[in-house]
Structures are given as C-alpha cells and as structure tokens.
Amino acid sequence: MFAHLSVWFSRIVALFRGAAIFISHKTEDKAEAQALMEFLKTMRFRTVFLDSDREQGIQPGEQWERRIAKQLRRSRAVILLLTDSSRKSNWCFAEVFLAKSLGKAIIPLRIGPVPAAPAPALDSLVQDYQVYESKDWDAAKGDLEAGVKANNIDPREDVRQFVVSLPFLVPAALLVAFVSYAVWDRRAESYASDVVKELAALTAPEKIRNAFANVKSNRPRVISHAIKSINDTVARLDDEESNLTIMRLEDPNAGDLSKIQVSRDEDARKAANLTLGLLASLDSVVSDGTIDAVLARFKLRSDDRLRTAVVSRYRAAGMEPDHLRMVIEHAIVRPLPTRELEQVLVSVLGVLGDYAADELSELRMPAAARLIDVHASGSDQALPEWLSDLRKAHPSGAVHSAADWLIRLGALEQKFPGRVVPSPHTSPASPVRWFYSPGGQLMVRVDPKTDMAEELRTAHPDWAAHPAFYITACEVRRSEYAKEATHPDWERPQDKLTWFDAAQYCNWLSDQNSPPLAHSYQPRGNALAPIALPLAKQAGYRLPTEVEWEIAARAGTISMRFYGWDPALLGRYAWLSSTTSGSDWAGFRQPNSLGLFDVYGGVAEWCHNRVNDPDFTREGSGETYETQVVRVLRGGAKGTIDTRPNSRTFESIDLGKFDFDADFRGLRPVILSTTK
C-alpha cells in the first residue's frame, strides 16, 4: 500500500513541480537509461523524467516535443548518457543545448571505452562540464553520486518546494475544481431536465418504458428531476382554491371549466409517463425515494386523475405484471396506513384487468393475509387463489368489489373458471365494510366523514355530517329483481322501472331481512310514498337521496367524474352508446374507488327525493301526495350524449312513469336496531 502511495505522491509532485532530474539518451540506449532511472530512485529521487518510462514518461498520442521542453524547463539537472548513439543524436544535442541555455546543471556520464572518433557538436557543448567516465555500470554508480553531490542536487528539495508551494496551489486547485464542477453540474442539470421533458411529452404509452431504459448517463439525476416534476404536478392538482373553483362550475361544458379540466388531464398524463418510467427503473436502481414516489401515485387523492392515468396507461406502456407485485410488496413493508394500502390494492386490481390470461398465468402475489394484517405470514399465492382469498376476507368494500370484478372478467375470458357466487357475509358487521343483501346484491359502506375529500367537506359541511350508509355496488340486475337466479339476462341491469317499482323492491328487501326491517315506503292511495319519519331514524332499505348518490359516486374526489374528466377514459368505467358491444352487463366496467360499478352511463338511477329537494325536506310535510310528483334520476343513461355523464348529471321524470333506461340502487342506513 505504501508503495502505491509513494507512486501517486511522485505523480502529484511531478504534475505541479516537474521532474527533479531529466535523463537525456538515445532510443538505442533505453535499457541503460531505465537502469539509471532505477538507481536514481534508490538515491531517493522521487521525480525523474525518462521519456520512455511507461508511468511518468511520454504517453501514446501525447505531443512529445512540447512535453520534453516542459520537463527540461522544470527540471533542476540533466544527466546526459554519453554513448556512440547519443553523441550522433540531434535530439540529444538539442536537449543539452536547451538545458545549458536555461542554466540547468548538466552531468555527462560515459560508461565503457572512450570513443576514437570525436563528435564536435555535442562534445563542444559538454566540454565545460566534468565528464564522469566509468569502465562499467558498478563504477558509474559511484561517479553518479559524486556528480550529484558536486552539483548540490538534494533529492528532498523537490518535495520541500512542493510543500512550500501548497498554500498557493491549494486555493488555485480548489478554484479550478469549483469552476469545473459548476460547469459540469449545470450541463448535467440541463441534460436531466431535457430528458424528463421528453419522457413526459410522449403521447404513445408503449414508448415510455424503453425511453426511460435508454437513459444511461446521469440516471440518478434524471430520476430526481422526474420525482420533482411529478410532485409539482401533484401540488397543482391538490391546490384547494383551484379545486373549489372546479366544484363551483357545475356545467361540464362551461368554457373555464373545460380549459381547467383539459389542462389538468394533460398534466396528469405527463406525470403518469414519468411515474411508469420510475417504476420501470426499479429493475436496476432501487431507492426509497423512487419507491415512495411510485407508491404515492397508486393512492387516492381529491383530484384522482393522475392515479387514473397511471392505471389506464400501465398495460399500454409495456409494463410487466410482476411490477405490480413489487408495488404491493413495498406497500406492505413500509407499511402504509390501512386505507392507503386498500387504495393501492384497488389500483393494482384495476391494472390487472387489462392483461390477457396468458400474461397472468405465472403471476404470484404476496399472500392475501398480509394485505389484511401486515403482521400475518404466508407464502406467495397464484392469482386465482389470491383473488378468491381477497374477495372472501378483506374488510374493505372497495377491495372486495374490485376483486369481484376481476374474477367476473376472468370467468368471461376464461382466465379463472366459474361464476361469482355470493359471499357468506349477509349482514353488516364491523370491521367488515360490505355485505350481501337478502336479494343477493353486494352492498358497500360509504362514510362521508372518511370518504370525502377535504374540499368537499369545506364546500358541503352538511354532506360531511351525513351518517354512514350501505349502498349496492351494482344497479339491481334482472335476475335479482325477478328473484330468478336462472334468468337468461341475469347480469343485465333491470330497466323500464317506475319510481314506485323501485320503492316496492326496497320494501321487499326490508321484509326479507332477518329480523325484518321497518318499511321506508308506505301505501298512499294506490301508490307508495316515503314515510314521514326522518331519514336519520329509518333502518329499512330505500333509494339513495341525491346527496347520498353523489357522495358515493364521487368516491372521495372533487372532479366532475371520479376518475377526472377525460372523455376518452369514460368507456373504461361506463356503458356508452359509442363503446357498447354486446350486452351492457352490470359490474363489467371498472368500479370507482369505493367499489361502485356503472355510476355513469348504462341506465339512469332513481333517487329518493323529488326535484329541487335534494335534502328531502318537503316529504312528510302533510301536503297532498300526487303520482305526478317529479323525482330525480342521476348518472345518465347509455343513450345520453357520451361526453355528458358525470357525478352531477341530472334528469327528472314523473315517478308514475317508467323510463326504458331507468334502474336503481338500494341503500341501507347503518342502523341495526329498528325492526318491523
């Protein structure tokens, strides 16, 4: 180790001070010159210049003339190796001539017999110096030591001069280093910024993964810039003032709103590109910052369009399904809070629906038990088993609903055999946040206190105070309404219903409960009407009010659609006239983040309240009940203009008339004590 340190120290001294001794020789005398250099090192001369030396001599491609002149100027003495070859060399003559003109000490050293023929040119230059003549190399060593002492050349002088010059050299070196780093850093920053902009601007998702993989140089800085760009986008999407502005503009075709929505969708698409690029980079570079940035994009936010963009572009970007396993594994290890872990899981289930059966055949996921309790153990599971366990045991209605959907898709595409059957849960029970109604409908829990964005609670404090409730994940299917499990169109939503039909079915559900629940609708003449009891005190099944429907439809978001706004993505979540091929089966489009299917399009949904009475304040006031009272439908039907359905879509119709595209969802308050 000390030998290596000595070599490096010699190189540093030579760099700043030059060599102490310059050896002038002819190429034919290379071996003798090398031996001379080694002997000088035994005399503790650390810096000796020999042009043919591999380490400190002239390197291939170097301008050798300039290097020789530079070393001659910096050296303190020149040892001329006098031989027949060197005496005839023009370069040896030039080196000695330059050294003499610079006032350098010159030590001519001749080994062997004196040549018979004189060489006037070189001999005339050295005639003023004592020539040390030796018969052999051993004798030459003693003569060389004498010559060095006679010229007062101290081998320690080069080190002393270097140390003395350090106070001047260090600031200069630091200044050069600082300027060099500043220039390099500026170029590196510019490069990383340009790469991130190019990646974000990609419109074809299939290019995302390869584009990020092609980033070879400065990769950590590119990743850092990508994370910063994503965080800047999230900050804009989370801006409370802007979000409140969006909620105030209820008309989806309003000019200002349209500009805001388009701008936000574009920001989300760019940030999604970078998120997927970061996820692809985890193949080779695993850092906590990168993992956290990716995980955060799979979690629900008040403006959820960035998460939607990541989910919808994941498969198209050429990402492997196994990356999803990595996302879940890191979410467990962190560990994320329960609700955040649930939303990551819902996102992953949403992505899996885009893959074909053969692409998922080898996929194994972290044990479902670990997703329910991070302290649980269990080996990885094959996808069918994993989905089945999630559906049976996970307490989240959103996770249950998403797993239900993926299994249903698998049965349709023969990824997983068998039809979905009802779960054993048949009544609300804590901590499980879902159950199956007596009619076989999956019901998921919605709690405004925890499932609403902060902006929604600020804009609608009365919504935030609303009690929790259960609502059916799907619109009531034909088989459920007809009470026939073998109905030929059992998966299709029941349409052509009046408001009275929906109310009567809710009463039937209350009757089938064990124990039976009090009816929410009572006879009035030849029809039904809501009972006068305040909603907060009702326990039976009923239709949702407009407020309840919108809370459930928004799924904790503030945008006009729970996924954002982009009309191009609407067909992913809704049955539309332009995207429907075949039957518009209930529960076959991707659910929202609370587990509700087909919120938009398909069929419109009856609500409990009448028009212009969203809080249901006029019912039971003693006024004469008429069958012509206009009731509300929400969500928009399949025949609605494709760009229109959203969380604020509003229709109305006389409750005694049926609509070809009208269905409903059942709702049950979280009240378990009142019975029939």
pLDDT at 653: 63
Look at residue 17 and tell me whether its pLDDT is greater than 50. Answer: no
pLDDT band at 673 (very low <50, low <70, confident <90, very high): very low
pLDDT at residue 471 is higher than 80? yes
**Whole-angstrom distance, CA of residue 346 vs CA of residue 662:** 29
Cα–Cα dist 9/159, whole Å: 10
pLDDT of residue 559: 83
Q: Mean pLDDT, to the nearest integer, of 100-113? A: 83
Residue 354's Cβ-count burial label (10 Å; 0-12, 13-18, 19+) is middle
Tokens of 345: 């899981």
Which candidate, 1, 58, 57, 47, places its Cα nearest to that of 20?
47
d(CA 436, CA 666): 11
pLDDT at 234 over 80: yes
DSSP secondary structure letters along 451-518: HS-HHHHHH-HHHHTSPPEEEESSPPBHHHHHT-TT-TTTTSBP-SB-HHHHHHHHHHHHHHSSS---
Domain assignment present for residue 468? The answer is: no
- Helix or strand run (H / E) with residue 576: none
Average pLDDT of the residues of the chain: 79
Q: Establish if 208 belongs to a structural domain.
A: no
Q: Angle at CA 450, nearest 5°, toward 403 and 353?
A: 20
Whether residue 253 is contained in a domain is answered as: no
Model pLDDT for residues 297-325, shown as the tens digit of each residue: 999 998 999 999 999 999 988 888 988 99
Length of the chain: 676
pLDDT score, position 7: 45
Find out whether 68 and 95 touch, Cβ atoms under 8 Å.
Answer: yes
Confidence at 420, pLDDT banded by 50, 70, 90: very low
Sign of the dihedral defined by the CA atoms of residues 135, 137, 139, 144, in that order: positive
> Does some domain include residue 408?
no
Return the structure tokens found at 439.
Answer: 């009619």
Residues 6+ apart with CB under 8 A from 172: none
Quick one: which H or E segment has residue 280? helix 255-281
Q: Is the pLDDT of residue 671 over 70?
A: no
Q: What is the pLDDT of residues 651-670, one digit of tens each?
A: 666 555 555 567 778 778 87
Angle between helices 137-150 and 30-42 (to 10 degrees): 60
> Strand 381-382 and strand 364-365: pairing?
antiparallel
Contact 280, 293 (CB under 8 A): no
- Whether residue 81 is predicted with pLDDT greater than 90 in this model: the reply is no
Sign of the C-alpha dihedral, residues 310, 316, 317, 320?
positive
* Helices 338-352, 305-314: inter-axial angle, 10-degree rounding: 40
What pLDDT is recorded for position 426? 54
What 3-state class would DSSP assign to 85? Answer: helix
Measured CA to CA, the distance from residue 106 to residue 64 in angstroms comes to 22
Query: 397-413 vs 338-352: helix axis angle to the nearest 10?
Result: 10
- Evaluate if residue 342 carries a pLDDT over 80: yes
The half-sphere exposure of 607 on its side-chain side, counting CA atoms within 13 A, is: 29
Q: Among 123, 155, 187, identify where a domain stops.
A: 155
Does residue 588 belong to any structural domain of this protein? yes
Q: Which residues pair with 469 in a beta bridge?
A: 446, 669
Q: Please check whether residue 48 lies inside any domain of the structure.
A: yes
pLDDT of amino acid 484: 65
CA–CA dist 392, 356 (Å, integer): 24
- Residues 176-197: what's their mean pLDDT? 74
- Top-confidence residue, 67 or 307: 307
What does the pLDDT look like over 260-287, one tens digit per residue?
Answer: 788 888 999 999 999 998 888 876 656 7
* 3 state SS of 627: coil
pLDDT in tens, 363-377: 999 999 999 887 788
How far is the first Cα of the chain from the last one, in angstroms, to the nearest whole number?
91
Reported as type and span, the H/E element at residue 297 is helix 288-297
CA distance 365 to 345: 11
Among the three residues 106, 134, 155, which one is the final residue of a domain in this structure? Answer: 155
Share of the chain above pLDDT 70, in %: 77
Residue type, 220: P
Q: What is the DSSP letter of 591?
A: P
Domain that holds residue 13: 2-155
- Is 676 or 71 the better-scoring residue by pLDDT? 71
What is the rounded average pLDDT of the residues 118-131? 75
pLDDT given for residue 146 in this prediction: 80
Distance of CA 212 to the CA centre of its chain: 12
Strand partners for 575: 601
| pLDDT at site 367 | 92
Asked whether 541 and 510 are in contact (CB, 8 A), the reply is yes
Q: Kindly calculate the radius of gyration of the chain based on its CA atoms and give it in whole angstroms.
A: 42
Q: Is residue 35 part of a domain?
A: yes
Supply 364's token pair.
Answer: 């194994």
Contact 638, 508 (CB under 8 A): no
Order across the sheet with 48-49: list the strands.
Answer: 48-49, 21-24, 77-82, 105-111, 132-134
- Position 120 scores a pLDDT of 67
- How far is 295 from 344, CA to CA, in rounded Å? 7
pLDDT of residue 485: 60
Calculate helix-pair angle for 90-101, 64-74, nearest 10 degrees.
40
Average pLDDT over residues 36-46: 81
Q: Which residue has tokens 């002492």?
A: 149
Neighbouring C-beta atoms of residue 396, cutoff 10 Å: 27
pLDDT at residue 349, as a whole number: 95
Place of tokens 């027949």: 84
- For residue 639, is pLDDT > 80? no
Last residue of a domain, one of 155, 186, 205: 155
Q: Which long-range contacts (CB under 8 A, 24 or more apart) does 56-59 make?
A: 56/10, 56/11, 56/14, 56/19
* H or E element at residue 574: none
CA distance 578 to 172: 72
What is the model's pLDDT at position 12? Answer: 47
The confidence band for 1, taking pLDDT boundaries of 50, 70 and 90, is: very low
Q: Could you tell me the two tokens for 414?
A: 């023969």
Model's pTM, two decimal places?
0.72
634: alpha, beta or left? (left if phi > 0; alpha if psi -120 to 50): beta
pLDDT at 578: 66
Q: Does any domain span residue 8?
A: yes
Q: What is the amino acid identity at position 162?
A: F
Token pair recorded at residue 289: 């910052």
Asked if 555 contacts 562 with a C-beta cutoff of 8 angstroms, the reply is: yes
Neighbours of 301 (CB within 10 A): 18
> Which residues, other chains included, contact 299 with Cβ-Cβ below 8 Å and sequence gap of 6+?
307, 336, 340, 343, 344, 347
Residue 35: predicted pLDDT: 85
Classify burial at 151, counting beta carbons within 10 Å of its beta carbon; exposed 0-12, middle 13-18, buried 19 or more. Answer: middle
Q: How confident is the model at residue 8 (pLDDT cuts 50, 70, 90)?
A: very low
Q: Could you tell me the strand order of the sheet in which 667-669 lies?
A: 434-436, 442-446, 469-472, 667-669
More confidently predicted of 421 and 84: 84
> Among 538-542, 614-618, 645-649, whose mean pLDDT is lowest?
614-618
Structural domain count of the chain:
2
- Which CATH number characterizes residue 124's domain? 3.40.50.10140
The helix or strand, by DSSP H or E, that contains position 48, with its residue range, turns out to be: strand 48-49
pLDDT band at 220 (very low <50, low <70, confident <90, very high): confident
Task: Give the confidence band of 86 by pLDDT, cuts at 50, 70, 90.
Answer: confident
Model confidence band, residue 444 (pLDDT cutoffs 50, 70, 90): very high
Question: Residue 198 pLDDT > 90, yes or no?
Answer: no
Nearest Cα to Cα of residue 572 among 309, 285, 301, 180 = 309
Q: Which long-range contacts (CB under 8 A, 24 or more apart) does 386-392 make?
A: 387/416, 390/345, 391/423, 392/423, 392/424
φ, ψ dihedrals at 76, nearest 5°: -100, -20
